[in-house]
């Protein structure tokens, strides 16, 4: 069985392909997030992981920088 690859994704491991948006925070400011993405941010606020939606977006951006799956896997 062959898995279809999304042609818009530049990195099959990276959950945020740059074609969609490169930053949660900038996408939030530009109102480019989908309802389900807004739900992720709101859940982080509701669970006390962030004080506001923009804080939650910044946390997700930071996680993308620090814990990039490929770099983490190889210890880079």
Q: For the chain, give every domain's residue range.
A: 24-74
Closest CA to 23 of 69, 71, 56: 56
Does residue 6 contact residue 14 with C-beta atoms inside 8 Å? Answer: no
Burial of residue 12 (CB within 10 Å: 0-12, 13-18, 19+) is: exposed
Residue 11, SS3?
coil
Q: Tell me the pLDDT tens digit for each residue of 6-33.
A: 555 455 555 555 456 778 999 999 999 9
Q: Which residue has the higher pLDDT, 28 or 1?
A: 28
Q: Is the pTM of this model over 0.85?
A: no
Does residue 58 contact residue 24 with C-beta atoms inside 8 Å? Answer: yes
For the chain, give the percent of residues with pLDDT over 90.
Answer: 46
Q: What is the mean pLDDT of residues 35-61?
A: 94
């Amino acid at each position: 069985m062959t898995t279809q690859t999304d042609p818009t994704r530049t990195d099959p491991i990276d959950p945020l392909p740059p074609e969609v948006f490169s930053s949660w925070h900038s996408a939030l400011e530009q109102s480019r997030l989908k309802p389900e993405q807004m739900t992720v941010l709101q859940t982080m606020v509701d669970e006390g992981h962030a004080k506001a939606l923009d804080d939650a977006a910044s946390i997700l951006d930071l996680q993308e920088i620090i814990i990039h799956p490929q770099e983490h896997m190889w210890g880079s």
